[in-house]
Chains A and B, each alone.
Chain A
């Protein structure tokens, strides 16, 4: 029995290049995940090059643009030369918003803000969640109980409501919204990490390190955590999507990004009453949020399937 297992292990390690190699191969085989990666790649590109792509300053009203010759009217519908807008009018791909600013420029800069928010909040909560989850899983006993009960309490609140409560205490603003969403997403990561640590901690190589005299730090951070990371990556990718969505919700309510920051949620919130009179001002930011969240969800789903050992035979 022991011999067979050893043999099996040796064989597996022989064909596998590395975990990442396999994952990448499986990931690229999934059309939906590739789709997600393409959208995401474009978003990142837009976010990085917004200042060159945007035709106008996203916070500047056309009233303040020197030598502006076009028609000045708030919430002007899109003017695209290719679609028959007269050449004499300056081009506004997505029209003008309520403050007579170029909606397209604002949307491009919005990509930058949304991505930064997504990555920042998730990094924040992964960092804290991982430490808490690892401590809880590794030490067990009262440490586990205390940490996980606190996590349960946080988890018991609807996350958006708790985020609103936290922002109300901290005061509205993008940074505070970011912290609030970071805090409410900690339990998800803490749980995932605790689960993996619980299973990994009983592995032979951990016992081996322990018997070789490795200290707690070494065992936890060099042996256990690196091997418990896979589910965290999946959770993190999906978490970025929900973080972006929640920030947009907070900004929609006026608790997140403050005017005139071109954040998609606040752009949507500002023009929500113009659904019928100026649909472009609600449609484009909404579409942008949808595409971003979709991209992260597709990628996250793809990663989960690719990293799941139970689906190994599929590849």
Chain B
């Protein structure tokens, strides 16, 4: 009898564990699927199709007013091959923004049939030179050539994406010949690749920044003097000289100097431990009131801006101990949890993070971090930074924008929401025989132009597996790069460069004089991988599902659609 009771109990325990394990995974999905059922609380967008003289019904979505806080006023299919974007304020960066891969165009019928999630995450349908053949989760992604491509067809019939988080493993695979190119060569392996005649190293220009963020809502970093002291107590030159690969440089400003107006204003503080100690004393810390120990959080993930997180974190720890006598506790976190905590301003202490350019405009660096609409990653924002960013962002000519960005950079230097450390160089290693090899400063390598003569498969190995292939709702470069082979945005970036080029899905575009109305003329006769033809409604719907939070297809993978908010500010009908 007793034995039975205990067997029953253990069974129950086991059953509840299984339930807990399965239930945990299920809940979010259910929550997401139920969301659209709730009626939008805000006044809904006018979604009335207009009636042009032709039989074509163009979609138009318009915000009732610009008071909702975002930058987009309306998105309209003027006719079958013309799309018009109307903005609330002048935005000279629109061409650079619409070339970004989160705005890839997918067929409107497909978006509707997938319901904005599900298949859409795994099987993107685009217009690109490659179409998705198979995604073997955890193993590889296989793409095949799109023979109906409107432009120059891909050089190699089959493209394979693989991944491995360890740089030693990637190099080994390349040396064995199992892969044709690897991303992010380990900083110590640059010499090995250069010394190997069967390989070639392509350095990627340092269009990124690594910084030490300090959340100003937690003590002791709520004190500006403390932040200024830390800014002068870290020898950034020593970090770059010793722990970064060739091609890296110390950050004089948050934005790299190769971006127009990136380096406006004063350069960053010089290394000066004596001044730093004096500032700490001024802030009230002394032998009787010692500085508390602080946390330094980071994720152990290699990016171009941070080639060796563990080592750099420990050097900062050692420097602060040596120069200020401050004890730093290193706190390594899981990548996703770290990003969530950083974005919500929940990290108590300092954190190591970086940013790689998505499009070559100073807005992409400064606004994403310091504007009023940005995440409170560094705690509360500063009015003298946000005001200048708002004003500068509305001007078209770089010369006119200069004073505002200079003022913004000076204010950043004064308030020290973070310490910019380095613009990190990274590199791709290719087999020497690869034709068309390039390294993009924006990390958007286009494999359609690459190939090894006589070889019908090209294997690329990157750091990590894409999270999903619906890049409207992804932010990491590993996912974006995979999407870029399949889906195309309206415009494109120069291959291996940063300039925005027409000759993508939009053959040409024009703007009105105050840069608030942008009209894009689509290429005719382009077909998607499923055979359907590209028209303006595909573009409108691809944009609107991201923009309109109340849209039934606004689901994606997590539903965050972060890049839309980076690019155009708030969502339409955003839940309060």
Contact = CB atoms under 8 A, between A and B. Distances in A.
B318 A59 contact: yes
A254 B300 contact: yes
Interface stretch (A60-68, A108-116, A306-314): A60-68
A147 B481 CA distance: 54
A259 B2 contact: no
Size band of the B side of the interface?
A: 20 to 34
B186 interface: yes
B129 to A, nearest CB: 33
B188 A277 contact: yes
Summarize B's interface: helix, strand, loop or mixed: helix
Given A64-B322, A258-B332, A273-B167, A99 B10 contact: no
A74 interface: yes
Interface residues of A, number: 31
B6 A99 contact: no
Contacts of A149: 6, 9-10
Nearest to B10: A149
Contact of B313 (A259, A274, A278): A259
B188 A278 contact: yes
A274 B186 CA distance: 9
A99 B168 contact: no
A98 interface: yes
A275 B330 CA distance: 24
Interface string B315-328: 10111001000000
Nearest to B308: A98
Nearest to B235: A63
Interface in A20-57: none
Given A254-B300, A258-B329, A277-B188, A272 B318 contact: no
Contact of A273 (B13, B168, B332): B168
B311 A142 contact: no
Contacts of B3: 145
A149 B8 CA distance: 12
Contacts of A152: 10
A176 to B, nearest CB: 13
B332 A254 contact: yes
Contacts of B329: 258
Nearest to B189: A277
B242 interface: yes
A274 B330 CA distance: 22
B264 to A, nearest CB: 33
A81 to B, nearest CB: 25
B323 to A, nearest CB: 9
Contacts of B10: 149, 152-153
B166 A273 contact: yes
Contact of A75 (B167, B171, B188, B318): B188
B243 to A, nearest CB: 7
Contacts of A83: none
B317 A259 contact: yes
A90 interface: no
A100 interface: yes
Contact of A98 (B6, B168, B189, B311): B311
Interface string B33-55: 00000000000000000000000
B314 interface: yes
B311 A99 contact: yes
Interface in A132-152: 141-142, 145-146, 149, 152
A80 to B, nearest CB: 22
Contact of B311 (A63, A146, A172, A270): A270
Given A74-B311, A100-B242, A149-B10, 7 more contacts: A141-B2, A145-B3, A145-B6, A153-B10, A172-B331, A270-B311, A273-B186
Interface of A: 59-61, 63-64, 72, 74-75, 98-100, 141-142, 145-146, 149, 152-153, 172, 254, 258-260, 270, 272-278
Interface of B: 2-3, 6, 9-10, 13, 166-168, 171-172, 186, 188-189, 192, 238, 242-243, 300, 308, 310-311, 313-315, 317-319, 322, 329-332
11 contacts: A63-B238, A64-B319, A98-B311, A100-B242, A141-B2, A142-B2, A258-B332, A259-B314, A260-B330, A276-B168, A277-B188
Query: Shortest 3 CB-CB distances between A and B: which pairs?
Result: A273-B168, A98-B311, A277-B188
